[in-house]
Amino acid sequence: MKAAVYDHPGPPDVLRYTDVPDPEPGPGEVLVRVAAVSIEGGDTLSRGDTTAPAGPGPHIVGYQAAGTVIQLGEAVTELVEGDTVVTVGLDGSHAELRAAPEAVCWKIPAGLEVDQAACIPIPFGTASDCLFEFGQLQPGETALIHAGASGVGIAAIQLAAAAGATVLATASNDGKLERLTELGLDHGINYLTASFPDEVRRLTDGRGADVIVDSVGGQTLQDSLTALAYRGRCVTVGDAGRRPAHSLDISAMRGNNQTLSGYFLGAELFSGRRAYDLIAGLIDQVADGRLRVVVDRSYPLAEAAAAHAYIESRQSFGRVLLRP
């Protein structure tokens, strides 16, 4: 099969399009012919992490992809050949074929396009858990969503608005913020032209945000703590800013009874059924139109390096897809 691989981590141009052996489904796994790959933020971070130990190459990066089941491993009980599914995993999405555990495959409902389904589990599952399971967002509260034009950001804005919250979000330009108002954003903050903690205080009459979903990390995470309301909850879900903080000052949190939580969807998926069922429900909400997936553009799998470079240019609005 063809795949986009790298032999060592680095910038987007380490990706090359080449032939690699077809994967074989093991017990409890299915083999999927991939139709659409949603490039996740973690994909670009993994590919670019030069501090990670080098494993045997070539490596196929990628968390999330959708397609058709073409072969079953032993002990597969729910899926059959011909099912269309969306899959997640620690790697292997940037390829024509993917072996994936049945436990992290979701059937795509009739009428939902494969491109749309390919974009749902990780960003929508992450956004929902950050807001509700860990952030405990309530109607009437204020949520601040960092990187509002990202996959997690777009999902979180819609979910928070549907829950009756006042929704604030950050982005790097006013055009992105204007587009986010169509998805439920109440107030946008251009972090390049304004101090987002100051703007959050101004927009909340000095109170701060009850829940903050921070996928950026680094100094942004530190500043998020200063934008929290009394008893506010901040959930850190990534280091998209590529400058993780070496230390974090939490000294002001105790006096304000605030909470800082870390979140990783993979840990939830492999610790019980709850997260799987949550994602199944979110897929249904996209299928029936209650939630929207936003796709920015698509690239051939052979142009994976260009697709990664486009994402890292911070021009994208929503998901960027690869097509084998």
Backbone angles phi, psi at 241, to 5 degrees: -75, -10
Q: 11 vs 30, 36, 255, 289, CA distance in Å?
A: 32, 23, 43, 37
Return the pLDDT at 247: 83
Neighbours of 305 (CB within 10 A): 19
Mean pLDDT by 10 residues, the chain (324 residues): 95 97 97 98 88 76 97 97 97 97 97 97 98 98 97 98 98 96 98 97 98 95 97 92 72 96 94 95 98 98 98 94 98
Q: What is the tally of structural domains in the chain?
A: 2
| 112/88 same-domain check | yes
Instruction: Tell me the C-alpha distance between 77 and 71, whole Å.
Output: 13
Six-digit token string for 52 = 């990670």
Residue 231 resides in a domain: yes
Range of the domain at 77: 2-119+293-323
Return the pLDDT at 169: 98
Instruction: Tell me the C-alpha distance between 119 and 64, whole Å.
Output: 8
* CATH number of the structural domain spanning residue 26: 3.90.180.10
Return the pLDDT at 222: 94
Return the pLDDT at 49: 84
Q: What residues have CB less than 8 Å from 275, skipping those under 6 apart?
A: 125, 129, 265, 268, 269
* CATH number of the structural domain spanning residue 257: 3.40.50.720
Return the pLDDT at 245: 58
| 195/208 same-domain check | yes
| 138/193 same-domain check | yes
Return the pLDDT at 50: 77
Residue 156 resides in a domain: yes
Return the pLDDT at 242: 57
| 8/44 same-domain check | yes
Instruction: Tell me the C-alpha distance between 33 and 30, whole Å.
Output: 10
| 68/191 same-domain check | no
